[in-house]
Amino acid sequence: MNALKQYIDLYDESRDLIELQAPALLNNLRRVAREHLDNATLPRKGSEDYEATDLEAVFGHDYGVNINRLPFEADPAQTFHCDVPNMSTCLYYSSNDAFHSSAAAERNIGQVVVEPFSMAAVDYPEMMTAYYGQLACMSDPTVALNTLLVQDGLFIYVPDGVVAERPIQLVNIFNAALDMMVQRRLLIVVGKNASIKLLACDHTQSPDFRYLNNQVIEIVAMQGSTIDFYDMEESTPLTRRVSSIYVDQHEGSNVLIDGITLTNGYTRNNYHIEVNGEHAETHLLGMTIASGEQHVDSHTFISHNAPRCNSNEMFKYVLNEKAVGAFSGKILVKPNCPRVEAYQGNRNLCGAPTAKMYTKPQLEIYTDDVMCSHGSAVGQLDEDALFYMRTRGIGIDEARRLLMQAFVADVIDGVRLDALKDRLHYLVEKRFAGTLSNCAGCMATCKKS
C-alpha cells in the first residue's frame, strides 16, 4: 500500500478548504507538489540511505490532519514556562502547527522579523517569493507532502548588518487528544553581515497519542552572515518526526547546526547544505541518546560548490537496550573547488548487545588540492576504563554514566552559547541517570502550570 495516497486523496477532496486559509504563495507551490506526488512512493527499510528507516510504515498510520485550522484552546505561553538559566530569549511557540508569540518576544524583537507566513506574504512578498520552496527538494516525497498540506509557517528575517541581541527560541508542542500529523515549516533568511542564534525544541504533551511531525526548514545565509541553529527533540515513544533542513551558504557565511535527541520515538533527520561561496564555514553536529526501542536516523549531505571553504561534521550516538541508530553522510567537493577542507566523523557507543547502529560515511571529490577526511566507529564502553574507575571506589552504574557523558562532551562543547552549553551538560547527565522525563527540562525547561 502507498501510504501517501490517503493524504493525496485528502488534498484532492479538500483542496478548496485547504487553499482558502493559506496565502497564494503557498497555494501556487502546492500544485507543483501535487504533481511531484503523482507517482511518488516513500522509501522502505533496506532501500538506499534508508537502511534502518521505513518511512512507508511511519506515514502509514491513520493520522488526523487539521485542515480546518481549529484553534488551540489554551495559551501555550501560560501553559508552558520555558527558560534556559542565565540566558534571556525571545520566546515563540507552535502548538501543533499554529504559531504564537509571547508578549516579551514582541516587545524585544527589535529589527528582527518573526511572523507567520500569512503575514509575511503581505509584508515581505518579494522575499517570500524569492526563497520559499526554492531550497527544499520536492523529489523527496516527505518535502512534497509538507508543501502539499502546509497551511502556514514561520518566517524569520534578519536585515543586512543586524545582530540579533537575544536568541530566538521556538518551542514546538504537540497537544491534541487524537492521533495527529502536522506540517511545520520555517523559512529563515539572514542578510549580509547579519547574525542570529535560534533554539528550537520539540515537546509532546500527552504520551497516549500517536503524533507525526513532518517538518521542512529552509535557511539562507547571505554574505558574511552568522547563524546558529540548535534543534532539540524531547518527545515520547509514540511520537514520530521527519525533519528536513536545507541550507544555502553564501560567501564568508558561518553556519552552525546542532541536532540533539534526548528522548523520542522514531526520528529521521535530513540535512542538506549547499556551500555556494568562498570562505564559508560550516559546522554540522549531532548527538543522540537512545534507549528502549527509540530510533534515530540521520542523513547528511554537504556540497562544496565553491573553493576555499571548510566544513566540520560530527555525529555521536549512545544506544542502550534495543535502540536503533543510523547515520548516512556524504561530503561532495565539485570540480574547480580547490583549497576545500572538510571533515566528517561518526562515533557510536552501543551500551548493550541488543542495540544496533548502521553507519555509512562517504566522500566524493572531483578537485585536487583539498584536505578531506571521514571516518566512523562503533564500539562499547572501555572495560579497562570501567575496571580502573571501580578500583577507585566508583560503582559500576556511575562509572558507565561518567564514560558516556565524556563520550558526548565534545559535541556539547561545540555549542556557541555558554548558558545553553551548561544546560545541556546538566540534561545529558540527567538523561544517563534515567531522571530526565518528558517536558521536565531540555533547553527550554517546561513545567505544566
pLDDT tens per residue, range 334-354? 999 999 999 999 999 998 899
Give yes or no: residues 197 and 295 share one domain: no
Q: Which domain holds residue 317?
A: 265-380
Please compute the mean of the pLDDT values over residues 292-318 and round it to a whole number: 97
Residues 223 and 284 in one domain: no
Q: Is the pLDDT of residue 367 over 50?
A: yes
Residues 85-141 have pLDDT tens digits of 667 888 888 888 888 766 555 544 779 999 999 999 999 999 999 999 999 999 999
* The residue to which cell 548502521 is assigned: 358
pLDDT score of 388: 76
Amino acid, single-letter form, for residue 431: R
Clarify whether residues 190 and 104 are in a common domain.
yes
43 and 97 belong to one structural domain: yes
Task: Measure CA of the first residue to CA of the last residue in the chain; give whole Å.
Answer: 43
Judge whether 361 lies within some domain: yes
DSSP 448: B
CA proximity to 199, closest of 301, 76, 105, 98? 105
Out of 319, 350, 380, pick the residue that ends a domain. 380
346 occurs within a structural domain: yes
Average pLDDT over residues 228-252: 97
Poorest-pLDDT segment among 108-117, 197-206, 249-258: 108-117
What is the β-pairing status of strands 211-221 and 226-234? Answer: unpaired
Mean pLDDT to the nearest integer, 261-278: 97
pLDDT score of 402 more than 90: no
Report the range of poorest mean pLDDT among 41-50, 57-66, 246-255, 391-400: 41-50
Q: What confidence score (pLDDT) does residue 48 get?
A: 62
Instruction: Say if CB 222 and CB 130 are below 8 A apart.
Output: no
* φ and ψ of 10, to 5 deg: -60, -45
What is the average per-residue pLDDT within 19-45? 91
Domain total of the chain? 2
Please state, in angstroms and rounded to a whole number, the distance separating the CA atoms of residues 189 and 332. Answer: 24
Let me know whether 215 and 356 are in one domain.
no
Q: Is residue 42 part of a domain?
A: yes
Residues 274 and 198 in one domain: no
Q: Give residue 306's pLDDT.
A: 97
Q: Among the three residues 191, 219, 249, which one is the final residue of a domain in this structure? A: 249
Domain end point (choices 328, 355, 380): 380
Query: Minimal CA–CA distance to 317: which of 354, 277, 357?
Result: 357
In percent, the amount of the chain with pLDDT more than 70 equals 90
**Are residues 183 and 279 located together in one domain of the fold?**
no
> What are the backbone angles phi and psi of residue 418, rounded to the nearest 5°?
-60, -40
Which residue in this structure is represented by grid cell 544555502? 248
Residue 266 has pLDDT above 60, yes or no: yes
Please indicate, yes or no, whether residues 64 and 200 belong to a single structural domain of this protein: yes
Q: What is the pLDDT of residues 173-185, one digit of tens each?
A: 888 889 999 999 9
Which residues lie below 8 Å from residue 117, measured CB to CB, with a gap of 6+? Answer: 22, 23, 25, 26, 128, 132, 152, 153, 154, 155, 185, 187
Q: What is the DSSP string of 42-87?
A: ---TTBTTBSS--HHHHHHS--B--TT-PPPSS-HHHHB---BTTB
One-character DSSP codes across 317-368: EEE-TT-EEEEEEEEEE-TT--S-EEEEEEEEEESSTT-EEEEEEEEEE--S
DSSP percent split of the chain into helix, strand, coil, nearest 5: 25, 40, 35
**Residues 109, 175 within the same domain:** yes
Residue 239's SS3 state is strand
Task: Tell me, yes or no, whether 228 and 282 share the same domain.
Answer: no
Same domain, 4 and 121: yes
